[in-house]
Each structure stands twice: as structure tokens, then as C-alpha cells.
Structure 1
């Protein structure tokens, strides 16, 4: 059973007790990500996530790592467009130590300018690493296009130019202005005593004074584009996508089923048609990235330059086939079953259960039980999937990002536009 408790200052605690395990996963979730940034502050949410590991008033950076290692724990964090999470997984006998370390990192970071300068270099290398990954590069560029003119378009890591302006004062100001009890959730899943855990959180977090956290929503101005990035590569890496809806939309689970049968698995349409039957690619898949009130549906493929045109054309033909209703009952049921299976298997991990209840409480202020999610998937009908496909698979709305050796193959963009302009509905 999942329980919720709210501290007097507004921090929400969500708990799922799992008696048969010997571990517990704990997360501190803050509703702050790149969506809360502007051109000047872009990258600060992610940078703060890094800096909280760089020492506190009570522990040096190496002491944080050593204390976690000494109890056999795992400590990590991540930043997304909508939230930042600091989390730890420990044996059930070490929950007290885990809460102590997490709260110390959260409330007592040093933010020394020396460490800030070093971490700026680290994050710049992280940016370069992603830029050297063609797959990441085309996905990031697609996200920029989809979320044009809104903070959702910002790269979570920021830019090298911005990073070089970060100072202790700037970092502290952003954290003080955006971190608040009202936009913080603490989640735990595993074997623990509920009253004891609440008491520990109360002890560490009760003095944090609540304040209104500004969360401005700016609607994106999506206009389809075809964008190429010149890189000296042996292959073309391509991303095709469209803007879609958020997790709270009534069609969310229908979209998951559509994605699964279209390109989410090895038995999916595009994997079978493009790779298995035609041998045009090695890697191809579709994916859904959903946020609170918006999202992206995308297809990625990596192929030789000579195969790019045929690959895109085959993908668009499969979109057309699905819009026409060419989905078999067998593949429809298989897609639903796999989504349910993947979800149920994920419940075997305390980390994923902590993440599920923490994220949902933070972003949607609700608790959903596994049976409710399974029921929602079961309720999806064929006509629901077809309706989503008809709206999502409009060729005139699709953007394409690609990278490769455009100096050697300058005609690639014209070929892509030519394929996009062809008719697939007859």
C-alpha cells in the first residue's frame, strides 16, 4: 500500500512498504529542471545536481562517497526538463545513514568557487560527449525544434558559453529562488518503518521555510523543419518526429500501444520492415517522451548514405498503413501485453517503485496503483490507437533531423524533402 504524509512546511512524503525485500530506495524530488530556466540560467538545474556531490559543511566530497560505499549503498542523481532527483539505495538497516547523507548534501552544499570552476570543465566534457554521439545529437536537435520558443527547448546540460559564467552567487541564487518545500517530494520504497521514516525526515527537513516557487508555463511554437548537421561520419543518423501530448492526456496509454507496435520492439512494424525484410539499417526504433502537458514521438534510424531515402520512405509508408487501419488483432494484443509485462517486471525493483511514486506525486499530485495502470492499458481499444495515429502520423507535420558527412553528400537534405513531399495515402 502507498501512503502519503505532508509535513507542516509543505514537503510531501510518499511511501511504499515492501516487506519481503532487504533494501530501501529513497529519493528527494524537486520540481525544477531546464523548463524553469531562461537563456541566462540555462544549465543551472543540472549544474546544481552535480555540485551537491562536491562537499558539504560536514563532509568532503570523498567522504560522501566513502560513507555510501561503507554501507554498501548506491548514490546518484539526475536532472530532466521538469525535475531534479537525488536518490540512494541502501540495505534496510542503513536508512538512518542514508537520510543523514542526503539531507546534508541537500541543505549544506559548499558551492566553493574552486569546485565550481572544476565542475564547469567536467560538464563541458559531458556536453562534448553527447555532441560526439550522433544518436543523442539528432534527438536533442529534434527536441529544440518541437519545443521552439519555450524553455522546454533548452538542453538540460546548458551551453559552454553559459557554463563559463557560473559563479557561487549565481548558483546559490538559482537554488534559493527555485528550491522550496512546496515543490519537493521525498519518496521511499522498500522495507522500512513508516513512522520512523517520517520522524527522520521531519527532523532533517522541518526547519526549511516554505515559499512560493515560480513555475511559468510558456507554450512552444512548433513549426516543422528539416535540419541537417554536418559531421564526418560513416553513416547517416536520422530522427523523425512530431509533437504530442502529455502523460495526463486521455490518449496517453493509446500512444504507448501505438509506439510499441510501430517501433518499440523487435517485432514492431519498422524493425521488421526496414531492418529484417529490407536490410536497410542496423539500428531503428521509435520512442515516446512525455512530460506533464506535452511530449515527443520520435523514430531514430542509423544507415548508410545510399539507404537514407529508402529508409525514410519505408517508415512513412508504414505510418500510412497504420492510419488506414492496417493493424492486426494479433499485433495489437501483443503490444498491449508487452507494455503490461514490462511495467510489471519493473515493479520488482525498489528503485523503480520509488521513482514511480515520487515522480507521479511531484508532477501530477496523485498516487496510482499498479492495478489502475494495468486497467488503463487493458481499456485501450484498436480505434483509440488508430485515432492517435491519424493525428500523429501526418507527414506535413513531421520534422526530420539528421547528421552525417554533408560535405560529401550535400544532396541529402533535398532527398529527404523530396521523400517527405511524396504521397502515401492512396
Structure 2
């Protein structure tokens, strides 16, 4: 795309010039396919630190291509709140050679789909197409990541779209309450702030700030390319190399890939209470405690514990709150693991008059399991549920691509499905009892959204006091 001379200066992509000759790429086979449906995972590190991973499944007719960026909302300063998500939108608006329509129309014309998402610690852009259309997906997604111009007029136009997305989220209290819980547990910190930012921070973002954020974080050392399906690794590497080379993105021959986030911190958040009063039909609440980080080996046992407590229709919370008493339609538990900490939460949505009863039941179940653990049969059922959902969740190429990219970015390694199943099946009732005593034995905090009266608010606050 050629900008008029009177236009503001386009964002300079984070790639300049070209350096030749350069070292050869290094390639390794990480996982060799074995058994029905198992794919072969290979990894190549290109000069400049760009990593390319593929999982080849010759029996399928689709392919998913994605690029993961090692940047999320936790990398933002308070003044840049929402910049990562804002940038996600802007990379679809046009490059030096493509308009926004030139990005979306070719993929949709072959029946493919494109999308992206921003999380607290990473961002992903991807396209799912027929295997024969993979070259198109590689070309377009790579161009988006390396050639965005971030025009001033697009920044202004997309600002309204992002503000509408924030408003849409705030109109869904069942979603918004999880942001409130993050703030309750993590406070006014990068992890505690919403991924979308706020109306104030998004309104204050300028084109220059967003462009500098792009230049700083979208460098090859911070990117991971992942492709899964009926793909040929060497062909993907050649096409990715050509696409990034055109943008001058493979210049730093000595650059090393960015290491996964690490560290460890202890959250001491207990007994906090946050209430956001809204005129809604239901009261939405999240009751929770600090959990474990994604590098903590106890994460396997905590996943089993969460599945047993609130992971399905046979779980304790579902049976006690919904099946036996009919107090809520939705009730479940979940874990969130970050690089250096984690959260465990129980969500329920119910009529305002029943919120105190629902909270009391949830607290009683958590306290009982913290003291006594779970019976062997419940642990076995939760293990089976996790194993089955893991395998079924990897039945399409999009899920495989997500596993490839996230594993490389977050852990710096690939674990086979069989290895993950082995780790889950190795969880014992004693392991669950130990992690339950640690995680559920703390005094929980509570986040609530709904039409809560002063009397109800006092009762809820006393329940976690």
C-alpha cells in the first residue's frame, strides 16, 4: 500500500536492512509420530532467532498456520493499558502491500478463517485453511506480522471498535466477573488489569505509542511460528524464510530466541471482597485463592482437583449446587497458571436472593476437600475426564497448532500427548490431598457482580471474613 505524501509517517516495521551471508538454520525432530493419529513435530531456528515448528499429519486435509508473539497485557505500563489487544486489531488493517480487504478476502475466498487473540502473556494470529491453500495463509499472516503500517486513520477508526468490545464485555457480567476476580487477587498490577484495557487507557493511546510498542515487541526473537496438519516442514520453513526475508526480518545472525517467562512469587491474597453493583438478573460470583504457576509440578494435581470439584456434571459443586438444590444454572471451577503465579477460582451465577446460600455451599465443599482430600474413585474419575478431554481437544489442526505455539513460547519445549497423559495418570489421591490442603486451605477471596443490597453485601463479605 502506498501512502500519500501528506499522510503521517507509517510505522517502521521492526526489521531493517538485510545481512548476508548468514548462518544456516538449525533443525531438529522433537517428537516422532507413533501410533494412529500421532504427528511428527519438527523445529527449525532461523537466523535472527525466529522459531518454526510443525506437526505433520498426512491423513488430514486441513492446515492451521499461526504466529505467536511473546507479548501480552502484563507487558504494558498503566498508560499503555490495552495496547497489546489494540495492536492485535491494527495488524488486520493493512500492510505495505495489502489493504484490510486484501488480508481477509483471499482467505475467505478459499473457505478459510482468520482470527487472533490476546492473553495476559502472549498474542496469537492464525489462519485455518485447506492444505493446498497453506502457502496463501503463510504469506498473509507473515505479512501482517512484519509489514503493518499502523496508519493514523486506522488507529482512530479502530479505537471505536475496541471501545465497543470493552462495552460488550462489561455487558456480560458472567465474563466481567473474572476480570474483577483478577483485580481482587492481583491488584493494580499488569496481571490484575484487564486484557482489553479500560475506556480511559484506550482513549489515551496514540498512534505513536502503539507503533513503538509494535517495534519493540514484534521482533523475530519474540515470535514463534507454528503450523499443524497436512504440512511439510521444509516447505513451511522455506516459505516463512522467504516471507520474513522480504521484510528484512532475519538480520540478526547472532540473535537468540527469547526465553520463556520464569520466576516465582507467592500471592498472599486472602479474605478480600470486591463488589461491583449492577442491575442484572443474576448475581455472578467468583470465590478463589492463589493457585500455582504453570512451571509448578503441582499443576497436574491441581488440574485433577479442579476437575473433580467443578469440571463437569458429575463434579461435587455441580451436584451439590445445581442437581440437588437447583440454586444455580452454571457452577464450575477453574485454574489460571501464569509464569510466576496462579489462581484457582469457583464461579457461580444465581438469583440474587440465593447468592449467600450458593456461597455457603461452595465454601463448605472447598473446606471439606481441603481437610480430607477426595475419595479414590473421585480422583480416578477426574483423571479419566482430563485424559479424555485432552485427547478429544486435539482432534483438529487448530488445537494442535495452539499446543505447538503455546508450548514453545511458555515452556520452551514440546511434550507429547502420551507424556501428558502419563503425567495426569500419575496423580494420586495423596497428591490431590496435598495440593488441596495448600490451595484450598487458605482463606478465600470473593468477587461479586450483581444487584446486591447492603444487607446481602454484608452477608457475602462476612462469608469470607
The separation in 2 between residues aligned to 1:219 and 1:334, in whole angstroms, is 32
The 5-angstrom pairing of residues 1-400 of structure 1 reads 1-206=40-245, 207-208=248-249, 209-210=251-252, 222-224=268-270, 225-325=272-372, 327-396=374-443, 398-400=444-446
- CA shift digits 1:258-296 (9 cap, x unpaired): 000001111000100011111111111111122223221
Paired residue secondary structure (2:317) = helix
How far apart are 1:149 and its partner, in Å? 4.5
Normalised to the residue count of structure 1, the TM-score between the two structures is: 0.94
**Local SS of the residue matching 2:168:** helix
Cα separation, 1, equivalents of 2:109 and 2:399: 23
- Per-residue displacement from partner, 1:281-315 (whole Å, max 9, x unpaired)? 11111111222232211111111222111111111
Provide the aligned length of Structure 1 versus Structure 2. Answer: 418
Instruction: Say if 1:33 and 1:120 are closer, same or farther in 2 by CA, change over 3 A.
Output: same
Write the distance in 2 (CA, Å) between the matches of 1:157 and 1:326. Answer: 38
CA spacing shift, 1:216–1:288, aligned 2, 3 Å:
closer
Task: Determine whether 1:415 maps to 2:459.
Answer: yes
Between 255-264 and 209-218, report the one with greater CA deviation.
209-218
Distance in 1 between residues matched to 2:289 and 2:181, nearest whole Å? 9
Alpha-carbon offset, residue 362 of structure 1: 0.8
- The one-character-per-residue Cα deviations of 1:102-148 (angstroms, maximum 9, x if unpaired) are 11111222211111111111111111111111111211011012222
Structure 1 unaligned regions, length at least 5: 422-426
Residue 395 of structure 1: CA displacement?
4.9
Q: What SS does the aligned partner of 1:153 have?
A: coil
Say whether the 8 Å CA contact 2:184–2:447 is kept in structure 1. Answer: no
Structure 2 runs not aligned, ≥5 long: 1-39
Distance (Å, rounded) in 2 between the aligned partners of 1:254 and 1:220: 19
**Structure 1 Cα separation of the partners of residues 266 and 125 of structure 2:** 29
Q: Which moved more, 1:321-330 or 1:297-306?
A: 321-330
1:278 counterpart SS class:
coil
